[in-house]
Amino acid sequence: MSGGLLPVALAAAVAGALAFVALVGFLLHGGALYSAAFRRHVVGGLREAFVYVDARVLLALTAAAALALGGLAAWLAGPVVGLAVALAVLVAPRMAVARLRERRARRIVRQLPDALSALAGSLRGGSNVLRGLEQIAARHPPPLAQEIALVLAEYRMGRPLEEALDDMARRVGRRELELMNAAIAIARAVGGNLADTLDALAETLRETARVEGKIDALTAMGRMQGWLVAGLPFVIAAWFHVTRPDDVAVLYTTTPGLVALAVLALMYLAGTLMLRRIVRIDV
């Protein structure tokens, strides 16, 4: 009997070892992919926003936070919730950087009309485009001054001005900068009254900003309602987890409960995206 069980035990041990090796390899490969994406999107995004951090330190802090918060959530609410919390922590830095870059881009767009008017005034005073950009970099506040200073630094290093301006527009990701770059490029290539063009563009951007401000004021209540509706399921789930933990445990300890959670998550995501689409109006 024992002789017959020995091959089975050896096979089980080998299968367990192979599964462990495969799991370790999968985790290492996934960690390498996450590290590469983290450096590209999070650290790279921060660098483009002129925020310089040590990539290894930030990655280590993110991993430690994911392990700590995920472990705490798993201890309090079960492994499924712990895994969800850990994944949310791992995704949070990329979302935070995207939010930071969006807010910075909005500040640049708000500063752009005054900068265009100043550039137009400088051109009428006899200066050229480069001298006008230097005055913007020296006299205007960041973040627009930072971007213009970087453009000038790249130009002094031998890069064509149009390419440096296009790279700035790519970093910021707003069409207003593309319009400014097109006006400057056309004026430098074929001539024309660039000062009048910049003044007209500045007035257009000011009018667009006024319209966007009115839209934000009119949709503020809708956005607040959307946030309340989005957060309500979590509040209700936390309340039932405290008051009726045995009933809630069915959701993440049984197969039908996990299926229901997956369906609810998809419906929640679809509803959130629909609400954001309703209250977002492009001008």
Helix locations, the chain, DSSP H: 2-37, 44-48, 55-77, 79-124, 129-139, 144-156, 161-172, 175-190, 194-218, 220-243, 245-253, 255-279
Which regions of the chain carry the CATH code 1.20.81? 110-206
Structure confidence by residue, pLDDT tens digits, 89-105: 999 999 999 999 999 99
Kindly state the DSSP code that residue 157 receives in the 8-state scheme.
T
pTM (two decimals): 0.77
Q: What is the pLDDT of residue 283?
A: 58
Which of the four CATH numbers 1.10.3470, 3.30.499, 1.10.10, 1.20.81 does domain 110-206 have? 1.20.81
Q: How many other CB atoms are found less than 10 A from the CB of residue 232?
A: 10
Report the range out of 26-35, 176-185, 261-270 with the highest average pLDDT: 176-185
CB 73 within 8 A of CB 81: yes
- C-alpha torsion 203→137→149→36, nearest 10: -60
Dihedral angle of Cα 204, 205, 207, 208, to the nearest 10 degrees = 120
pLDDT at 1: 46
pLDDT tens readout for residues 58-91:
989 998 998 898 888 888 777 777 888 888 899 9
- CA dihedral defined by 97, 99, 105, 107, rounded to 10 degrees? -120
